[in-house]
Amino acid sequence: MDMQATLEEIVKAVAPLKGQGTVASYIPSLGGVPPEKFGICVAMADGPVYGAGDWHEPFSIQSISKVFSLALVMARDYDSIWKRVFREPSGTPFNSLVQLEADKGIPRNPFINAGAIVVTDRLLTLTGDAAGSIRGLLRQEAGNPTIDIDATVAASEARHGHRNAAMAHLLASFGNLENPVDDVLANYFDQCALAMCCEDLALSARFLARQGVSTGGSPFLSPNQSKRVNAVMLTCGTYDAAGEFAYRVGLPGKSGVGGGIVAIVPGRCSIAVWGPELDANGNSVVGTAALDEFTTRTGWSVF
């Protein structure tokens, strides 16, 4: 297969879908991102990297950061996070408060906001700098020391992050935060505001296609932990649309409201796509379609 040609064909195939979604605007500084952008990158487990479209343009990774915070916590703490977070699909939007009250402060999974806030809290306890340790992992895996937090996006979300603040306070009221609410939220907003391009993102997530082996060749996660992170991505990584995403794409994936999605073909490659227009569940319209095209054309799926 000619991977480069395949990616260029996918860029053409998904172009007509532009205009069908909406750029996230509840974080005001994300609202100004040009909606027509689209990039795709494939990082092969054994080294080669391919890309097409706007694959070198940085974007806000938002909830994709939740994969890296979970991996960092599991690497240090093994399984203890699962006493504080479930790992079931939520069936509610990523920012819903409703379940958290009924479930007595234990979030349904680490990829909805409530669960991610608990994971960030744990990472803050373990490292003293949750967002900084995620940035360190991304820089190391992508081999790019310029990857950074977009301070404007972080400040914009902090100013308008009432729902996340409510969630963090509710978690604290149930005794499910170890650190002060303000410190946890600051780290959470910073990690969501990390900016990187498709190439950096595909390289950063590649350890999940390599049974946990990092870019430098050392084990970051065990094969077993890598399997588990992929499993949670498959069942919970695209929120309410995880069933639809599994049906269409057939891969573990994690989306963010910046329009990025990272998907893993275990043993083969990691894939990053970016298209800012979102569907009603907060997943990139063009990005999901491109991943559907990718697995359909290559036959590379976990099913």
Q: Mind telling me the catalytic residues? A: 63, 66, 188, 239, 257
Distance in Å, CB of 156 to ligand GLN, minimum: 10
Nearer CB in complex with ligand GLN: 212/259: 259
Nearer CB in complex with ligand GLN: 51/282: 282
Which residues have CB under 8 Å from 192's CB, separation 6+? Answer: 60, 61, 62, 63, 65, 153, 154, 157, 256
Q: Give me the half-sphere count of Cα atoms (radius 13 Å) on the Cβ side of residue 165.
A: 8
Site string for ligand GLN, 42-81 (x = CB under 6 A): --------------------xx------------------
Tell me if 113 contacts ligand GLN by CB under 6 A.
yes
Q: Give the single-character DSSP code of 220.
A: S
Estimate the crossing angle of helix 113-127 against helix 162-173, to 10 degrees.
70
Tell me if 115 contacts ligand GLN by CB under 6 A.
no
Distance in Å, CB of 8 to ligand GLN, minimum: 28
Tell me if 164 contacts ligand GLN by CB under 6 A.
yes
Distance in Å, CB of 188 to ligand GLN, minimum: 7
Among 257, 264, 289, 291, binds ligand GLN (CB under 6 A): 257
Sequence-ordered alpha helix ranges (H) in the chain: 3-14, 65-77, 98-102, 113-127, 130-142, 151-160, 162-173, 181-192, 198-204, 223-236, 242-248, 285-298
Q: How many Cβ atoms are within 10 Å of 88's Cβ, its own excluded? A: 11
Element (H, E) at 43: strand 39-44
Tell me if 95 contacts ligand GLN by CB under 6 A.
yes
Tell me if 94 contacts ligand GLN by CB under 6 A.
yes
Tell me if 153 contacts ligand GLN by CB under 6 A.
no
Among 256, 259, 266, 275, binds ligand GLN (CB under 6 A): 256
Element (H, E) at 50: strand 49-53
Nearer CB in complex with ligand GLN: 110/282: 282
Among 40, 192, 208, 251, binds ligand GLN (CB under 6 A): 192
Q: Give the residues lining the site for ligand GLN (CB under 6 A).
A: 62-63, 94-95, 113, 157, 164, 192, 256-257, 282
